[in-house]
Amino acid sequence: MNAADTGFIIICAALVLFMTPGLAFFYGGLGRRKNVANNIMTSFFCIGVGIVMWFAVGFSLSFGTDHGGVIGSFEYLFMNGVETASDAYAPTIPLLVFALFQMMFAVITPALIAGSVAGRMRFKALFLFVVLWSLIVYYPVAHMVWGGGLLAQMGSIDFAGGNVVHISSGVSALVLCLLLGRREGYDNVSYPVHNIPLVAIGASLLLFGWFGFNAGSALSAGDLAAHAFATTAISTAAAELSWMLMDVITCEKPTLVGASTGLVIGLVAITPGCGFVPLWASFIIGFTGSIVCFFAVSFIKKRFGYDDALDAFGCHGIGGIWGGILTGVFATQQVNPVIRWNGLAFGDWHLFVAQLAAIAITIAVAIVGTLICAKLVGLVCPLRVTKRDERVGLDLSQHGERAYPSFNGLDD
């Protein structure tokens, strides 16, 4: 065991956990005033649900002995034996530390989905959906990618969660928002961002925590962690600038909401490849990723008319897919010798094909899993709030509280 590695990963685990409140503020600011407490709560409650489920069954199903390349075993139920077991995944740190680090990924991932259904999903239904989705989608995908399952066996790579976190949640977000339908008056009502400073605060917390998310995925305090840190910073900066450029081209003025969104997209896009691609490639990934997501949010969503309220699919789904594809283009054994093949840019097509296949499988699992979860939840309670509750706002109808009880302005 290495004390420096252990301390580093514990700190990174805390940073990743810090991202969930960051996401809560980010979503809270983007939504409407009458739903801000609900938008924050839809991320916040995942801290409780995610940690308890990971302790009870999640770690075991994700990283237990492989069964069919799809799911783990029950050997670590309630973390039984974790404190005394050796760590095959990261031999220089205790298995418990590895489990705690991975636990924070399981917390934030389902929280991302809630952005697509903001303002119209019943909180009880979302709570049950997150429980089922973690079991049916997240744990199997985590096992297939990081637990020695099918996608790892295929030779695909995902350094910090392109498939596991962003594609799985982003695609599920799209499916769920399609199932719920659009908000009342969607075609006739404007949905302005109600609290721009809160959006910027949330993006800042996500940015801060994401360095633990990506650099910590090296699972040691060494050169690879430094490389992942650097690619994360470069991609994020490039994506922020490229979204600002798109704002200027389309609206003639850069916006703080756009800059904050660009930051997040740069983080999403580099996540799968941050420990595999050269520094110069991270600039390309971030810069182009922001443009692709801008197009998805500004044009594709309008063209097809789906109501991805806070752009969970447009940012995380599309950004994760784009980052996963470009990882197959730019990854190189010179950065990380553990990969089987170099990327397409270095003359080998095997990794690129493996990345495409892994992305397709993740999308399929997310679609089927989300449909199953929604159907099961629908047997217990309706997915959507009533029209009256939607008009009143989810803060009052779902939680009986107002975020701004003394506010006398005219917006809603």
Q: pLDDT at residue 192 above 90?
A: no
Predicted confidence band of residue 409 (pLDDT cuts 50, 70, 90): low
Q: Which CATH class for the 3-399 domain?
A: mainly alpha
Percent of the chain predicted with pLDDT > 90: 92
**3-state class (DSSP) for residue 71:** strand
Mean pLDDT, the chain, rounded, equals: 95
What pLDDT is recorded for position 412?
Answer: 56
CA 18, 270, 91 angle in degrees (round to 5)?
Answer: 70
Instruction: State the Cα–Cα distance between residues 93 and 171, nearest whole angstrom.
Output: 33
**Residue owning tokens 């590895």:** 98
Instruction: State the Cα–Cα distance between residues 181 and 186, nearest whole angstrom.
Output: 10
Q: Which two tokens stand for residue 180?
A: 């719920």
* Structural domain spans, the chain: 3-399
Q: Tens digits of per-residue pLDDT, 150-177?
A: 999 999 999 999 999 999 999 999 999 9
**Arithmetic mean of pLDDT, 192-200:** 93
Q: What is the 3-state secondary structure (H, E, C) of 261-286?
A: HHHHHHHHHHHHHCCCCCHHHHHHHH
Q: Is the CB of residue 148 less than 8 Å from the CB of residue 70?
A: no
What pLDDT is recorded for position 338?
Answer: 95
What pLDDT is recorded for position 31?
Answer: 93
Q: Tens digits of per-residue pLDDT, 99-125?
A: 999 999 999 999 999 999 999 999 999
